[in-house]
């Protein structure tokens, strides 16, 4: 494979080169990994010039309907739109929540759009890592609006929130008890909440849900004091509320850029990402060391049988790991 040619085609914005590059970084083959590393290093100076937007919501809330309409709206305004999915459910169910049906057909036919399903068969950590790298590739290929879509189940939302500039939570027009279902941690990371399907019979319920959400958000303490999380009524089907979503994103990005918070968050995300890769690597080092992994299994049993506490067990594992480092032998040789 000619990496230099791939890089040139990528920088020219060729969609096939972008698809090929993402396949390369998703590959587990050690030779491909090395090529992917070279490619990523080569394109790094051309990355960063985008707005990265996360969108999450339960299956059926209308994410793909909305992203299609919103993507076409962005293209009309001269943007190039990439849509990436983070869906670790394929690992558990064998099928993917996001990828099975034909989604966003009209958007996918547009030259200014690039749509990529979630990498499959990996842990959330693995999916997240490859999605972050795909963001760089999309940016190098000239996509200036990057949408990362995820299902509203479990940890994946928090993971996506940690790789984007702005995180949008999409809700059904549910009020009262049904509203309680939103996890607090997810509300806290939402920079805006979209209530979709605010149309026909749902309008009244949607307005009530908006009021209740605004009250709930009023109680939550946000980390940045300059921004009150807005709740926006949308009908993706009737293409209403799209303008307001766009102007909210625009307002948020301008505000964060002028205060310096935009860059600061990106830098923090990069450093956090570095450490999460280190932590993952350390864990697999521990696991690949026969002596330490056998001690770890003993400690797991000791914790299960309440013979020791989790933190004492962890300290013991770490001290034995340190010992093996001091013995001079590389710890991964066992």
Give the residues lining the site for ligand GDP (CB under 6 A): 57, 59-65, 196-197, 199, 235-237
Short-list 70, 7, 72, CA closest to 44: 7
Please, which residue, 52 or 197, has the CB nearer to ligand GDP? Answer: 197
CB of 265 to ligand GDP, least distance (A): 26
Please, which residue, 110 or 265, has the CB nearer to ligand GDP? Answer: 110
Length of the chain, please? 334
| Angstrom distances, CA of residue 283 to CA of 35, 118, 172, 209, 276 | 25, 24, 39, 43, 11
DSSP string for 30-52: HHHHHHHHHHHHHHGGG---SEE
Q: Could you identify the residue written with the tokens 């000791």?
A: 302
DSSP reduced 3-state for 73: helix
CB of 65 to ligand GDP, least distance (A): 3
Please, which residue, 65 or 276, has the CB nearer to ligand GDP? Answer: 65
- Whether residue 130 contacts residue 106, with contact meaning beta carbons closer than 8 Å, is answered with no
CB of 84 to ligand GDP, least distance (A): 14
Please, which residue, 36 or 236, has the CB nearer to ligand GDP? Answer: 236
Structure tokens at 292: 């330490």
Q: Could you give the CA distance from residue 309 to residue 305 in angstroms, rounded to a whole number?
A: 10
Please, which residue, 60 or 94, has the CB nearer to ligand GDP? Answer: 60
CB of 13 to ligand GDP, least distance (A): 27
Q: Could you identify the residue written with the tokens 């809700």?
A: 171
CB of 186 to ligand GDP, least distance (A): 15
Phi, psi of 163 (to 5 degrees): -120, 5
Give the residue at shortest CB distance from ligand GDP: 62
CB of 183 to ligand GDP, least distance (A): 17
Q: Tell me whether strands 231-233 and 113-116 are parallel, antiparallel or unpaired.
A: unpaired
Please, which residue, 156 or 289, has the CB nearer to ligand GDP? Answer: 156
Partnered with residue 129 across adjacent β-strands are none
CB of 131 to ligand GDP, least distance (A): 18
Please, which residue, 207 or 298, has the CB nearer to ligand GDP? Answer: 207
């Amino acid at each position: 494979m000619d990496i230099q040619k791939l890089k040139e085609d990528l920088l020219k914005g060729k969609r096939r080169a972008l698809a090929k590059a993402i396949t390369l970084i998703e590959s587990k083959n050690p030779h491909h990994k090395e090529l992917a590393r070279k490619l990523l290093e080569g394109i790094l100076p051309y990355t960063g010039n985008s707005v990265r937007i996360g969108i999450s919501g339960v299956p059926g809330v209308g994410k793909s309907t909305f992203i299609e309409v919103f993507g076409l709206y962005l293209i009309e305004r001269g943007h190039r739109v990439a849509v990436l999915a983070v869906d670790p459910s394929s690992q558990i169910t064998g099928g993917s929540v996001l990828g099975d049906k034909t989604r966003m057909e009209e958007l996918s036919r547009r030259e200014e759009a690039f749509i990529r399903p979630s990498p499959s068969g990996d842990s959330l950590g693995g999916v997240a890592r490859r999605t972050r790298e795909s963001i760089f590739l999309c940016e190098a290929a000239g996509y200036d609006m990057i949408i990362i879509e995820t299902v509203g189940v479990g940890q994946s939302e928090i993971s996506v929130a940690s790789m984007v500039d702005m995180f949008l939570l999409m809700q059904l027009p549910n009020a009262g008890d049904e509203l309680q279902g939103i996890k607090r941690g997810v509300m806290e990371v939402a920079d805006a909440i979209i209530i979709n399907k605010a149309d026909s019979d749902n309008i009244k319920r949607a307005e009530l849900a908006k009021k209740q959400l605004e009250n709930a958000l009023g109680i939550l303490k946000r980390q940045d004091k300059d921004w009150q999380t807005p709740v926006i009524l949308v009908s993706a089907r009737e293409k209403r509320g799209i303008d307001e979503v766009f102007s909210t994103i625009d307002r948020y990005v301008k505000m964060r850029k002028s205060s310096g918070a935009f860059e600061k968050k990106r830098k923090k995300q990069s450093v956090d990402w570095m450490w999460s890769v280190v932590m993952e690597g350390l864990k697999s080092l521990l696991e690949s060391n026969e002596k330490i992994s056998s001690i770890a299994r003993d400690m797991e049993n000791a914790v299960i049988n309440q013979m020791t506490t989790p933190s004492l067990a962890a300290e013991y594992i770490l001290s034995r790991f340190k010992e093996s480092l001091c013995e001079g032998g590389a710890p991964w040789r066992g």
